[in-house]
Structures are given as structure tokens and as C-alpha cells.
């Protein structure tokens, strides 16, 4: 079966695609249509279904795989797939379903061992107890969830891999800047995105939950720390206040969704590590699809800048 990369604008195409980010909208003429992303196991493509029928609307679900037929189109310099017909796959379709889902570069079992190893490195009693309490509560979800819907680490175990990468990055900074508190850095990284286990529905057909839409992972994460601290009887400690501040400030600026800007040295570091890993992980995926000597498509996470891939 052909893949997205095998087609050019104007081509008729039939593709097996896993749909995500499905949105039902209306045209200016008040006609229903669907907008979504299609993943063929290697690449993503923007998908549109115009003149959407009610029966098609009912079968469209995030995370499911379909056989889609239609025509490729050039839209603002980017290929778009205008789908005319879809059908759900059956056992008779000759496809390997696992190929249509993305997974972290490390196995879940390896990530569990590595991250638990970092938890055990925390020597401060209060910080260790809070992290251990929350990880026991959300262990399964944490090691399966993605870190985002589309922007970065949006695959099985993406949240754990993003967290592990930040922990590894922190080692160099802790070695150079000895004034930083190692335990607070580890605990802050381990918990900075813990709210995403509630904000996002899971790795298959990822959507924002009701809590995710109404509260967001920053509030959810800080609330989980408060609950853990209360259960452990350590609510008024500096460890708890500092951890909550790290959660509230890890996006760095108010306009990026942080209720507070970093006012603790460890919070500054965690913001930079989070920004670095999320941006570079996103850039890596786009550069993998770009030939040496060429430019990427405009990247949303970099203010729609194009990046050149040197022939080196």
C-alpha cells in the first residue's frame, strides 16, 4: 500500500490512516465538514472531508484507523488530502495496526526503571515522599500517556520520555551550577507535567478531558501536590511551596499559561529544560522528514520559521 510520500498534489489516492485531532466545522454556506490529521505510520497529513454525511460523522473517532480515498491538493504550499470516502478497517485488511501508532524511543519498562532510579536519588525526605506518593497513585497512566496532543512527544509513553530527557539534561547543569538543589530539581522535573495524566485522555485518540479543558495541567498538577502534602501532613513546608511554585511557573511567562513566572533558581532551570526538550523534540521530527540541503515546512513551535538542514 502506498504512503503519503508517494503522492503529489492532484493525485487520486487511497490510504490507510489513523485519524487524530478530529474537528467538526461548518463552511460559510453552513455545510458540515471535518478537519483532522492523518497518520500513515510514517508521516502526518492535513485531512479535510467536505460535504460530510451524518453517517460519516458518526463513525469518525480519534485514534481509529480508516481506509480513506480522495485527492491530494496543494494548500498554501503544503499537501492536503481531500477525502471523499472512508471506511473502518476490518480483520481482512492486510495491515499491522501497531505501525500506525508512535512509541517513545525507549521501552516503557526501561523508562520505568530509569525514572524510578531518579526518584530513589531524592534524599530530602519531604520531597521524596511527595514524589513517591504521586507516582504510586498515577504510575500506570504516567508511563503510557503522551506529553501533548500534537506539538511534542505526542505518542505512547511520551510523557515519561519527555520527563526522562529533562532529568538527563539536568545532570549537566547540576554538575556545573552547584548552588542548585539537586533534590528540588529532580522532584520538580518528575512532577512538572503530572497534571497531564488527567488533562489528556490517553495515548490512543488523545483528547482533552473535561478537567483538561476547564482547568489545565498546571492547575491540576499543583492541586495533586497539595493533596499529597495534606495526606502526608507536610502542607506548610518549604518543599511543598517550592514544588507548587515550580509547577505554576514552568511555562515561564504569563502569556504562555503560567500563573507565576519563575522566582526560584530551580524553577528557572526547569522552565529552560522543558522549553528546550519540547522545542528540539518537535524540530527533530520535522528535520527527519527533510532532505539535506532543504528547508522544513514553517514550524508553529518556532513562530512559523523554516529550518535549513545542512549538507554536512
Distance (Å, whole) CA 297 – CA 141: 33
Strand intervals (E) in the chain: 12-26, 32-39, 44-49, 65-75, 78-88
Cα 27 off chain centre by: 29
pLDDT of residue 183: 98
Per-residue pLDDT reduced to its tens digit, 80-128: 999 999 998 888 888 887 888 888 899 999 999 999 999 999 999 999 9
Which segments of the chain have a pLDDT < 70?
149-151
Name which of 194, 178, 170 is nearest 273 in CA terms.
170
For residue 198, the cross-strand partners are none
pLDDT of residue 151: 67
Distance (Å, whole) CA 195 – CA 230: 18
CA quadruple 56, 43, 154, 300: dihedral, nearest 10: -100
Q: What does pTM read for this prediction?
A: 0.81
For residue 13, the cross-strand partners are 70
pLDDT of residue 123: 98
Q: Which residues contact 115 (CB under 8 A, 6 or more apart)?
A: 143, 160, 163, 164, 167, 190
Q: Pairing state of beta strands 44-49 and 78-88?
A: parallel
pLDDT of residue 77: 80
Assign 165 to helix, strand or coil: helix
Distance (Å, whole) CA 223 – CA 215: 10
| Grid cell listed for 241 | 511551596
Name which of 162, 13, 151, 150 is nearest 73 in CA terms.
13
Helix axis angle, 158-176 to 265-288, nearest 10°: 130
Percent of the chain with pLDDT over 70: 99
Distance (Å, whole) CA 81 – CA 135: 42
Distance (Å, whole) CA 140 – CA 9: 43
Cα 214 off chain centre by: 18
Amino acid at each position: 500500500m502506498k504512503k503519503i510520500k508517494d503522492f503529489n498534489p492532484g493525485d487520486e489516492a487511497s490510504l490507510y490512516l489513523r485519524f487524530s485531532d478530529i474537528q467538526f466545522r461548518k463552511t460559510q454556506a453552513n455545510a458540515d465538514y471535518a478537519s483532522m490529521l492523518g497518520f500513515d505510520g510514517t508521516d502526518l497529513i492535513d485531512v479535510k472531508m467536505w460535504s460530510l454525511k451524518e453517517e460519516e460523522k458518526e463513525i469518525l473517532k480519534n485514534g481509529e484507523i480508516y481506509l480513506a480515498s480522495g485527492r491530494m491538493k496543494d494548500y498554501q504550499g503544503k499537501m492536503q488530502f481531500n477525502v471523499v470516502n472512508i471506511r473502518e478497517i476490518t480483520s481482512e485488511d492486510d495491515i499491522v495496526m501497531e505501525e500506525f501508532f508512535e512509541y517513545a524511543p525507549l521501552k516503557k519498562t526501561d523508562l520505568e526503571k530509569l525514572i524510578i532510579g531518579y526518584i530513589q536519588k531524592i534524599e530530602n525526605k519531604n520531597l521524596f515522599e511527595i514524589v513517591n506518593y504521586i507516582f504510586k497513585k498515577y504510575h500506570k497512566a504516567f508511563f503510557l500517556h503522551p506529553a501533548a496532543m500534537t506539538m511534542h512527544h505526542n505518542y505512547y509513553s511520551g510523557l515519561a520520555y519527555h520527563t526522562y530527557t529533562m532529568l538527563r539534561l539536568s545532570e549537566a547543569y547540576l554538575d556545573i551550577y552547584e548552588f542548585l538543589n539537586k533534590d528540588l530539581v529532580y522532584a520538580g522535573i518528575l512532577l512538572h507535567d503530572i497534571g497531564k495524566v488527567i488533562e489528556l485522555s490517553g495515548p490512543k485518540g488523545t483528547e482533552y478531558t473535561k478537567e483538561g479543558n476547564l482547568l489545565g495541567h498546571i492547575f491540576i498538577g499543583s492541586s495533586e501536590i497539595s493533596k499529597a502534602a495534606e495526606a502526608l501532613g507536610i502542607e506548610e513546608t518549604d518543599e511543598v511551596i517550592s514544588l507548587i511554585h515550580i509547577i505554576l511557573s514552568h511555562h515561564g511567562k504569563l502569556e504562555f499559561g503560567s500563573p507565576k513566572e519563575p522566582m526560584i533558581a530551580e524553577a528557572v532551570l526547569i522552565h529552560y529544560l522543558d522549553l528546550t526538550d519540547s522545542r528540539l523534540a518537535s524540530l527533530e521530527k520535522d528535520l527527519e522528514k527533510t532532505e539535506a540541503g532543504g528547508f522544513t515546512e514553517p514550524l508553529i513551535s518556532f513562530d512559523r520559521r523554516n529550518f535549513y538542514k545542512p549538507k554536512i
